[in-house]
């Protein structure tokens, strides 16, 4: 009788141990799968940058994706301003359009978005540093207050008067349009946006402190 009981107890102990091992292995497998998916998601990304274009201009390679085999799809919030053909953007008419780019690979999705500002060829603009700043790719300031101007020219190169500007800045910076220049006050890096409503165009650039 005792032998039978011992066998039954041993059987149940072995069964419980096997069940526990199976559960532990299942948990380890699920955790590893989750970690692998997390690692894939962390390594898989897509990056885009805002674009300024002129009507008729074509730009290529408007995004970078970490894994080239990804499937890419795009979505725009306005039709007609640009055409997107695979990795090329063609500017059709003036305006501003927002683009969302989605990359998919093995069930993992990465997204990024950017804006495209398309301007007519009938004008151009120039950013002119005046005091406490220089301008190249960015506006580099050497003081907490700097002065610069934006000059707009027609297609003949003549300066256009009575141009309207709407300006703003990020990161707590203050910007205003004075009598003959823009005045920017900031103690840290920021970005500046200047809207030209007459031409349906937006100028954006970064401000870098060099003090």
Model confidence, pTM = 0.46
Is 188 in a helix, a strand, or coil?
A: coil
| pLDDT value at 76 more than 50 | yes
**66 in Cβ contact with 46 (< 8 Å):** yes
pLDDT over 50 at 12, yes or no: yes
Between CA 209 and CA 138 the distance in angstroms is 10
Residues 116-124, mean pLDDT to the nearest whole number: 78
From 11-20, 33-42, 56-65, 140-149, the region with the lowest mean pLDDT? 33-42
Length of the chain: 211
Backbone angles phi, psi at 209, to 5 degrees: -75, 135
In whole angstroms, give the CA distance from residue 166 to residue 38. 43
Distance CA 16, CA 9 (A): 10
In the prediction, which pLDDT does 13 show? 63
> Phi/psi of residue 175, each to 5°?
-135, 140
Maximum mean pLDDT: which of 34-43, 50-59, 187-196: 187-196
pLDDT bucket at 95, cuts 50 / 70 / 90? confident
């Amino acid at each position: 009788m005792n032998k039978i009981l011992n066998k039954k107890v041993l059987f149940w102990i072995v069964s419980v141990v096997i069940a526990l091992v199976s559960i532990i292995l299942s948990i380890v497998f699920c955790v590893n799968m989750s970690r692998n998916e997390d690692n894939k998601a962390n390594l898989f990304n897509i990056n885009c940058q805002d674009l300024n274009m002129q009507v008729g201009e074509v730009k290529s390679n408007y995004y970078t994706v970490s894994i080239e085999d990804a499937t890419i799809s795009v979505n725009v919030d306005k039709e007609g301003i640009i055409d997107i053909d695979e990795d090329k953007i063609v500017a059709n008419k003036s305006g501003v359009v927002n683009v969302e780019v989605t990359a998919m690979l093995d069930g993992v999705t990465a997204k990024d978005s950017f804006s495209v500002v398309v301007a007519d060829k009938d004008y151009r603009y120039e950013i002119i540093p005046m005091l406490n700043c220089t301008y190249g790719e960015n506006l580099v300031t050497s003081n907490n207050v700097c002065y610069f101007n934006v000059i707009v020219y027609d297609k003949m190169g003549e300066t256009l008067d009575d141009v309207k500007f709407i300006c703003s800045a990020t990161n707590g910076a203050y910007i205003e349009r004075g009598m003959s220049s823009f005045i920017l006050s900031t103690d840290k890096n920021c970005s500046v946006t200047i809207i030209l409503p007459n031409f349906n165009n937006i100028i954006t650039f970064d401000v870098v402190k060099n003090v």
